Chains A and B, each alone.
Chain A
Amino acid sequence: MALSRDEVLKVGTLSRIRLTDEEVERFAGQLSSILDYVDKLKELDTRGVEPLAHALPIHNVLRDDEPRPGLDPQKAVGGAPDSTDTLFRVPRVIDDGSSA
Chain B
Amino acid sequence: MDVTDLTACRMRDALRARDLSAADAAEACIEAIDRLNPKVKAFLSTDAPRARRRAAEIDKRLDAGEDVGLLAGVPVAVKDNMCTDDGQPTTCASRILQNWRAPYNAHVVERLLAEGAVIVGKTNLDEFAMGSSTENSGFEATRNPWDLDRVPGGSSGGSAAAVAARMTPIALGSDTGGSIRQPAALCGVVGMKPTYGRVSRYGLVAFASSLDQIGPFGRTVEDAALLLQATAGHDERDSTSVSETDEPVPDYLATLDEPVAPLRIGLPREFFGEGLDPEVERAVRDALAVYEGLGAELVDVDLPHSTDYAIATYYIVATSEASSNLARYDGVHYGHRSSDHTDMIDMYMRTREEGFGDEVKRRIMLGTYALSAGYYDAYYKKALQVRRLIRRDFDEAFETVDCIMGPTSPTAAFRMGEKTADPLTMYLSDVYTASANLAAIAGISVPCGFTEAGLPVGLQILSGVFTEERLLRIARMYERETDWASRAPPVCEGAS
Say if the beta carbon of A31 comes within 8 Å of chain B.
yes
Q: Mark A65-88, 1 if CB is under 8 A from B, else 0.
A: 000000110011011111000001
Contact present for B353 and A52 (CB under 8 Å):
no
Task: Give the complex CA separation of A55 and B427 in angstroms.
Answer: 22
Pair B440/A55 contact, Cβ less than 8 Å: yes
C-beta contact mask, B321-333 vs A, less than 8 Å → 1, else 0? 0010001001111
Q: Which of B196, B308, B348 contacts A16 (CB 8 A)?
A: B348
A43 CB → nearest B CB, Å: 8
CA distance A14 to B220 in the complex (A): 46
Other-chain residue from B210, B332, B356, B383 in contact with A17 (beta carbon distance below 8 A): B356
Interface pair B334/A53, CB less than 8 Å apart: no
1/0 per residue, CB under 8 A from B, across A21-35: the answer is 001000100110111
Decide: A88 and B333 in contact? CB cutoff 8 A: yes
Q: Is B384 an interface residue (CB 8 A)?
A: yes
Q: Indicate whether A100 reaches chain B with its CB closer than 8 angstroms.
A: no
CB B54 to nearest CB in A, in angstroms, measures 22
Chain A contacts of B327 at CB under 8 A?
16
What separation, in Å, do the CA atoms of A78 and B101 have in the docked complex?
9
CA distance A37 to B330 in the complex (A): 31
- When chains A and B are docked, how far (Å) is the Cα of A19 from the Cα of B362? 11
- On chain B, the residues within 8 Å of A71 by CB distance are 103-104
Contacts of A60 in B (CB 8 A): 239
Interface SS majority for chain A: loop
Determine whether the beta carbon of B100 is less than 8 Å from that of A91.
Answer: no
Q: Is the CB of B424 within 8 A of A37?
A: yes
The interface residues of chain A lying within 8 Å CB-to-CB of B389 are 44, 46, 49
Main secondary structure of the interface of B (DSSP, over half): helix
Beta-carbon contact of A81 and B331 below 8 Å = yes
Q: Is B309 an interface residue (CB 8 A)?
A: yes
Contact residue range for chain A? 35 or more
Q: A18-B352, A37-B312 are in contact. Are A91 and B344 (CB under 8 A)?
A: yes
Contact (Cβ within 8 A) A80 B332: yes
Task: Please determine whether B330 and A16 come into contact, CB atoms closer than 8 angstroms.
Answer: yes
Q: Count contacts between A and B, CB distance < 8 Å.
A: 164
User: Which of A12, A41, A46 has the largest number of chain B CB atoms within 10 A?
Assistant: A41
Contact B323 A40 (CB under 8 A): no
Q: How far is the CB of A53 from chain B (nearest CB, A)?
A: 6
Tell me which residues across on chain A come within 8 A of B388, comparing CB atoms.
49-52
CA distance A41 to B385 in the complex (A): 10
- B10 contacts the other chain (CB 8 A): no
B365→A31 contact, CB < 8 A: yes
* B276 → A minimal CB distance (Å): 19
Alpha-carbon gap, A71 to B346, bound state (A):
30
Chain A residues near B352 (CB-CB < 8 A): 15-18
Q: Establish whether residues A27 and B384, one from each chain, have CB atoms under 8 Å apart when the complex forms.
A: no
Given contacts A14-B368, A15-B368, A79-B100, A41 and B391 within 8 Å (CB-CB) = no
With both chains docked as a complex, state the minimum distance between the C-beta of A28 and any C-beta of chain B, in angstroms.
Answer: 10
Asked whether any CB of chain A lies closer than 8 Å to the CB of B274, the reply is: no
Is the beta-carbon distance between B344 and A46 smaller than 8 angstroms?
A: no
Question: What is the interface size of chain B, counting residues whose CB is below 8 A from a CB of the partner?
Answer: 70
B391 near A14 with CB under 8 A, answer no
CA A40 – CA B381 in complex, angstroms? 14
Could you say which residues of chain B place their CB within 8 Å of the CB of A79? 100-103, 333-335
Tell whether, in the assembled complex, residue B210 and residue A16 are in contact, meaning their CB atoms are under 8 Å apart: no
- Is the Cβ of B210 less than 8 Å from the Cβ of A33? no
Which residues of chain B from 176 to 218 have a CB within 8 Å of any chain A CB? Answer: 195-197, 210
A5 to chain B, nearest CB (A): 13
A31 to B369, CA, bound (A): 10
B315: interface (CB < 8 Å): yes
Interface string of B422-449 (1 = CB under 8 A from A): 1110010000000000111000000000
Residue B53 CB within 8 A of the other chain: no
Which residues of B lie under 8 Å from residue A78 when comparing CB positions? 101, 103
* B364, closest chain A residue (CB): A15
Q: A41 touching B312 by the CB < 8 A rule?
A: yes
The answer to whether B364 and A46 have CB atoms under 8 Å apart is no
Which residue on chain B has the smallest CB distance to residue A40?
A: B312
Q: How far is the CA of A19 from the CA of B352 in the complex (A)?
A: 10
Given A51-B381, A51-B387, A79-B100: A40 in contact with B365 (beta carbons within 8 A): no
Q: Which residues of chain A are within 8 angstroms of B369 by Cβ–Cβ distance? A: 3, 11, 31, 35
Who on chain B is nearest to A61 by CB? B239
A15: contacting residue among B240, B323, B422, B465, CB under 8 A: B323
Q: How far is the CA of A34 from the CA of B465 in the complex (A)?
A: 30
Cβ-based interface call for B480 (8 A): no
On whether A17 and B331 interact (CB within 8 A), knowing A44-B386, A51-B385, the answer reads: no
| Pair B381/A80 contact, Cβ less than 8 Å | no
Given known pairs A17-B364, A44-B305, the reply for A34 and B315 (CB within 8 Å) is yes
Chain B residues with CB under 8 Å of A42's CB are: 382
Query: What are 5 inter-chain pairs, A to B, with CB distance below 8 A?
Result: A13-B349, A18-B353, A38-B383, A63-B236, A81-B335
Please give the residue numbers on chain A whose beta carbons come within 8 Å of chain B beta carbons, in ascending order.
Answer: 3, 8, 11-19, 23, 27, 30-31, 33-35, 37-42, 44, 46, 49-56, 58, 60-61, 63, 71-72, 75-76, 78-82, 88, 90-93
